[in-house]
Structure 1
C-alpha cells in the first residue's frame, strides 16, 4: 500500500541521465597562474598517464588570466582540446573561486543593489535615549513598533520613523569665498549636522513592552574573496550568473557538452545570512503562509525557544528561505545544466552541522535532489570516528538520498586543508572511509598548476602530477576504482532509517555554531552508536514519508528498504508525519523511539501541544540490541565501520578499522582481523 501526496512541481527528472562517471579519482585542477602551455601539457600528460576519472577546471587565488574575459574562455577551450587529445574527461567549475554565484565578484561590482542583505534588529535602550528620540542606523527600513513580550501584541510605528542628524561640524573661521570667489572675505562661524540616522520620538512604554526597529543592510564583514556577496534569493542574480558564466562556456565549448565535458561543478552555494532579506520577501511570504511577516520579524531575533507563535514564525521563515533558494538559484542552475546535457555536481554547504544548515540552507536533504549526484565536502584530514562524529551526518545524508532516488552516485570533495605536504596514511584513511560509506565519486582537492609563494598555502597540499605523491595517488586510484565497482549501482543493505529532525533545529532561536546544542549532540550520538553497532543506517526526511511504498513490514523508497524506523529526539513533527508513523506501525514496520514525546505538532497554521508519544520510549542501547547488525557480535565495536552492498546475487562487504587497536570481527561466515586504519572487503554469492 502507498501513501501519496502532491507531486513536486519540478517537471525535470534530474535522475534521468546517461552520465556514467569513470571509476577512480577525480581532481580539482587548480588554475592559479597564467596557465602556460608547458604546465598545461605536463598536467594533462600526468592525468592521462594515470587514467584519472576526470578533472575539474577550478580557478583559484593566484590566477593571472582575468576571470570571465575572452582570454579566460580561450584558455578553457585550449585546455579542453588538450584533454580531449589525451582522453581525459573534463568538468567545468562555475566560479572563481567560491562560493558559486558571484562571477568572481563581478555581479555585485556592476550591480551593487544585488548584494546579499541581512536583517538587523535594534532595541531602544530606555536608559540612554537622547533628547527623546530613539535613533538607529539607516538601511532598508522594514518595521518599527512596540512589542509586548508577554502578550506578543505589537503596535506598528513604522510610518513615524524619520531622519535625524546629530553630529555637529563647526567651521570657525568659515570662508565666505567658498560661495563668492575673488570677493573679500567675511568672517562668520558656521555649524551644521551630519551622520544621518533613522529616528522615532520615544513613545511611552508599558510593562513588558519594547520599542524595536528592524532594517536590512548589505551583509557586513570580510567575505574572503569579494567585497560583497550576491543575493542568492534574488532570481535576477541567478540570471546574471548564468549569462556571465554558463552561457559563455556554452558559446565557447558547448559542442563538447555531454561528450568530453560531462559536468558542471557548483561549490557551496547557500543563503548568506541566518536572517536574510531579499526584495519581495514580505509579499511572497504572505501569499505562502497567509500573514504579514513584518510585525512578527522580531520573532526571528527572539531567544525564547518555548513560545509557540515565535517558533512557528521561525519555522515558516526557514521554510520560505529554503524554497526561495531552490526556486531562485538552485532550480534555474540545475535546469540549465539539464537542458545543455551536463550533469550538475558539487555540493552545498554546510552539510554536517544541522545548526548551521537551517541557517544557510533550511533542509539539505530535499535540496540534494537538484544535483545529479548528492554531494558533500570534507576539508580537514579526518573521518567520522568517535572524535569526529558530526562528519557522519553529511555522508550518511548524501548516501541516503542517492539510495532513495536512484542517483548515479555520491560525490565528495576531500583532502583540502590537510597540511603543507601530503601524508600517505591520511590519504588512504580519508579515501577508504568515504568509499566504505558510499561515496563513489571522490574528488581530490587538488592538483595545482603552481605552488609559488602564497599559492602554496591556498588550501594545500598539492596531490597533482607535479608532486612526488602522484605515483602513490595512481595506486590509490586503481584500488578505489576496484571498490567503486562494488558500490556503484548497488543497493546498500541499510534496514534502519533515522527520521531526520531538521525542523526542530529550524524552529529554535538563532545561535552561533559553537554554542552548546543538546539536540545536535543527541542526533550525533544516535547515528554514531548505530554505526558502532555496525547497523546499516540512513536518514529519511519527513517530506518523503507520504511517498513511500509499504510491503511486508518494509518501508520502500527508491532502492532503499527499511524494516526499522528510529524516532530521535525532536521538538516537533508534522501532523502528517505522525499520521504516517501511526500507519507504518499498523503495517508492522518497527517504529522505535529513544526520545521523549516531542513538545509540538505542526498543524500547518499553528503549533499544537503534543499530548502523547508516537511509540514507547526505549533506552538507546536496549533499542540498538533489537536492530539488525551486519556483524555477529554482542557488544558494540567502537570505530569499526561495516557496510554491505547488493548487486544481483552478490553481496559486497566493506570493513574498516578507524580505532587505534587491532580487532577481530565476524561478518557473515567470515572472520576478519583488521589492524588500525586497515580496510578490507569480500564478496559472498547468494
Structure 2
C-alpha cells in the first residue's frame, strides 16, 4: 500500500503542484458594472487566464448598464461560459444584482407584504394610539405581563408590533425564498442547464440575513414557534425586550426557532436546489465577526454553513484578526462535514495602495485557520466614474503589478491544493457559545454578550498561539452529527480527544448528554466558567465529573497559562478566562490546589474579588461519621472535607452559600447548628441568614442564592489546610446530582472565606 500510494496520489499531487488545476486557483468576484461588450468580456477573461486565475463569479454590481437577467445579460453569461470551456476555467454564477442576496433585483419584495422583511419593535406607555403592524398588547402585572385583546389599547403598557423593510425579503419564509429561487436560479437553469449544466460550477449567495441588529418577525413564525416549543409566542413577546421571569427560556426558544426557519428556508432550499443539479452552493452570511452581531443577523452562522457545499466567509480590510473566529467558524464545519473546500471573500476595503505582500499576509492568515480557497474582492469590469470607489481595490488589469500577479495566484493555488487534498488535524473541540448569546440578547442591547464573546475569542486566540489545533462545535451540528465512540468525541467526520466549554450561559440537553458520555470514558472535558451554565443542563449533568479550571492571576491581573498532561506524550495547555477579570485586591493572591504528588489545578477553590476564597461544595469529600439510629431518633451524621493551599494567612469570615426556593416561605435555612473544624479549631454555630448573595454561582428559577454567616477562623501559617463541615443534613453526592446538602428544598452550594483586612 505505501508503494502504491507513493506512486499514485503523492506523485499526482507533486506533478500538479507546479501548475495546479483551476479548481484550486483563486476565483474572484468579477464586477459587471457597465454596459457589457462581448469583445471586452473575452479580453478580460483572457487576462484572468494569463494571471493564473481559475474562474470567476459573474457579479452584477453598481453601475451596470446591461439590463439584469435580460436577454443581453444572458447572452453575456453564455459567452463567458463558452470561453471558460475553451480555456479550462470554471464559471460561477452570482445570484443577485448587488447584495444582500434574496431580493431578486427587487422583484421578490414587490410581490407584497408577505414576502417583505419584517422586524419586531416595542412601544411603551404612554402609547400614541397607533395600531399599524400591532402584533399584541400587554398590561404589566405583579406576575409579569398579561396579554390583552386588540380592543384594549387604553389598558396597554406595552405594544409589540412589526416594522417593514420593503426592499428586502422575509428570509424566514420558505415561500419568499422559493420565489427568489424561481426568479433567479430557475431562470439560469432554464437558459443554461441543458447545454452548460455540467460546466457551471455553482452559485455564490452573498450576505443573506434576517434582521441585522433588530429582532426578526415573520407571519409564519408564531405558528411554527408554538409547534416546535409547545407554548404560544404571543403570550411572551415582552420577554424578548425586558428582563422578566422566564425570559431566558423564551429568548432561547425564539432564537432557536428563528435560526432554524432561516436555515431551512434559505440555506437548505438553495443547497438542495444546487445539489440536485450537480452544482455547488457557496458564499457567506453577514456579520460573522462577533457573537453580538451574529444573533440578530443569522442566529448561528455555523448551522448555515452546514448546507453550503462550499461554505465561506468574508474578510474585509487590510489587516488580520486578533482572533481566528471568522475563518475558523467556516473551516470547522467544512472539516467536520467533509466539505473539502472552504472559501474566503477577501481584500475588499484594503485600499488602492495595498501591496502584494499585504494581500499575501491576509490570505495566509486565513489559510492557517483552515480556509483553502481564495475569492479575491474584486475585479472591476470598469473603473469609470464612481466605480473606482466601489470597496477598492480592483485586483485586476488596472493594477501596475498585474503582470506579476501570476506568482501570487500560483502560490495560493498550491496552498489550496495541498490543504484541500490533505487532512487537517485538530484534537480539541471548542464549543461555540452562540446559544448563550441568544439568551443574553435583550431587545437590541448586546452588552451582556460582550464578555462572553471576548472570553471565547481569547480562549481560541490563546489555543492558536500555543499551536493547539482546534475546531469550533455548533450545538446544532453536534445535535445532528455528534456521537461518542471509542473514547473520542465525534462531530461528523472529525474526532476529538478534548472538549472545551467556554464561559457559557446554557448548553443544550443533547450536547450535555454527549459530554456526559465523553467524560465517562475517562477523557477530558474542560469547562471554563466562573458561573455554571444556567438551565441545569451542564451543572446537574456533568459538574461532578469534569475538570474545572480557574484563573490564577498575577499582581497585574494577567491570566497565567498552565500545562497538563493529556496523554503519555501529549501536553495540553489550558487557560481559564475571567468573566470579566477583576482584581482581588491590591495584592492578588495566587491560589493552587495540591493533590498528592501530582501538580494539578484547583478543582474546589476559586478566588473572588476582595481577597475572598470560595470552596465549591460538590467537589468536597463526604464521609459517614455516624449511622442513622431510627429507634433512638438520631439521624446519620456526615462530614464534608476540603483541602486547599492558603497563600495569604490571616483571619477569614466563613459563610455558607445556599440555594432556596424564592416562592416559598422558609422559617430558616439551617434548623440545627453546623459544626466546622479546621486545624484543630472547632466552630459550632447557628448560621444567620443575611440575604441574597450577588456573587454566587448561577442558579435557575425558582431558586435564589442566599448567604449565611457562620463566624471567623484564623490561619496563622500559609500552606495546606483542611476545612470540615459536619451536619446531619449532608448527604452522599450522587453521579446525577451535585448537591451534598439537602434540607427540604435548600441546597448548599459553596463555603466562602472572606479575609478580614488587618
TM bucket (normalised to shorter chain) is 0.7 to 0.9
Q: Write the deviation string for residues 193-222 of structure 1: whole angstroms up to 9, x where unpaired.
A: xxxxxxx33x4xxxxxx7111111203xxx
Are residue 582 (structure 1) and residue 519 (structure 2) matched?
no
Q: Report the count of equivalent residues.
A: 543
Whether the 8 Å CA contact 1:102–1:229 is kept in 2: the answer is yes
2:564 is matched with which residue?
626
Are residue 141 (structure 1) and residue 78 (structure 2) matched?
no
CA distance in 2: counterparts of 1:617 and 1:541, whole angstroms: 22
Are residue 251 (structure 1) and residue 190 (structure 2) matched?
yes
CA distance in 2: counterparts of 1:40 and 1:64, whole angstroms: 14
Moved more, 456-465 or 44-53: 44-53
CA distance in 2: counterparts of 1:297 and 1:111, whole angstroms: 25
* Partner secondary structure for residue 213 of structure 1: strand
Whether the 8 Å CA contact 2:57–2:92 is kept in 1: the answer is yes
* Partner secondary structure for residue 94 of structure 1: strand
2:474 is aligned, of 536, 541, 550, to: 541
Mapping 1:567-578, distance limit 5 Å: 567-578=501-512
1:230 is matched with which residue?
169
Whether the 8 Å CA contact 2:532–2:539 is kept in 1: the answer is no
Structure 1 segments unaligned to the other structure (5+ residues): 1-19, 126-133, 161-199, 204-209, 220-226, 637-686
How far does residue 405 in structure 1 lie from its aligned partner after superposition? 0.8
Mapping 1:256-655, distance limit 5 Å: 256-273=195-212, 274-302=214-242, 304=243, 307=244, 309-384=246-321, 388-389=322-323, 392-508=324-440, 509-512=442-445, 517-545=450-478, 547-601=481-535, 612=543, 615-619=546-550, 625-626=563-564
Q: Write the deviation string for residues 463-507 of structure 1: whole angstroms up to 9, x where unpaired.
A: 113432323331111111222232113222211111111110011
2:87 is matched with which residue?
86
Flag the 1:514–1:472 CA change in 2: closer, same or farther, 3 A. Answer: farther
* Partner secondary structure for residue 491 of structure 1: coil
How far does residue 577 in structure 1 lie from its aligned partner after superposition? 2.5
How far does residue 51 in structure 1 lie from its aligned partner after superposition? 3.3
Whether the 8 Å CA contact 1:402–1:410 is kept in 2: the answer is yes
After superposition, the CA RMSD in angstroms is: 2.8
CA distance in 2: counterparts of 1:626 and 1:398, whole angstroms: 29
How far does residue 533 in structure 1 lie from its aligned partner after superposition? 0.8
Flag the 1:622–1:280 CA change in 2: closer, same or farther, 3 A. Answer: same
Flag the 1:499–1:550 CA change in 2: closer, same or farther, 3 A. Answer: same
Flag the 1:467–1:512 CA change in 2: closer, same or farther, 3 A. Answer: farther
Flag the 1:122–1:153 CA change in 2: closer, same or farther, 3 A. Answer: closer
Structure 2 segments unaligned to the other structure (5+ residues): 1-20, 552-558, 575-758
Moved more, 277-286 or 102-111: 102-111
Q: Write the deviation string for residues 84-133 of structure 1: whole angstroms up to 9, x where unpaired.
A: 232221000000111111112222235355211112111113xxxxxxxx
Flag the 1:550–1:242 CA change in 2: closer, same or farther, 3 A. Answer: closer
Mapping 1:202-217, distance limit 5 Å: 203=155, 211-217=157-163
1:65 is matched with which residue?
66
Give me the TM-score of the superposition, normalised by structure 1.
0.74
1:108 is matched with which residue?
109
* Partner secondary structure for residue 360 of structure 2: helix
Whether the 8 Å CA contact 2:482–2:490 is kept in 1: the answer is yes
* Partner secondary structure for residue 28 of structure 2: strand
How far does residue 83 in structure 1 lie from its aligned partner after superposition? 2.7
* Higher-Rg member (1/2): 2
2:634 is matched with which residue?
none
How far does residue 608 in structure 1 lie from its aligned partner after superposition? 9.4
CA distance in 2: counterparts of 1:632 and 1:583, whole angstroms: 23
CA distance in 1: counterparts of 2:566 and 2:63, whole angstroms: 52
* Partner secondary structure for residue 67 of structure 1: coil
1:672 is matched with which residue?
none
Whether the 8 Å CA contact 1:398–1:410 is kept in 2: the answer is yes
How far does residue 538 in structure 1 lie from its aligned partner after superposition? 0.8
How far does residue 351 in structure 1 lie from its aligned partner after superposition? 1.8
CA distance in 2: counterparts of 1:634 and 1:610, whole angstroms: 24
2:606 is matched with which residue?
none
CA distance in 1: counterparts of 2:493 and 2:221, whole angstroms: 38
Q: Which has the higher contact order (CA 8 A, sep 6+)?
A: 1
1:224 is matched with which residue?
none
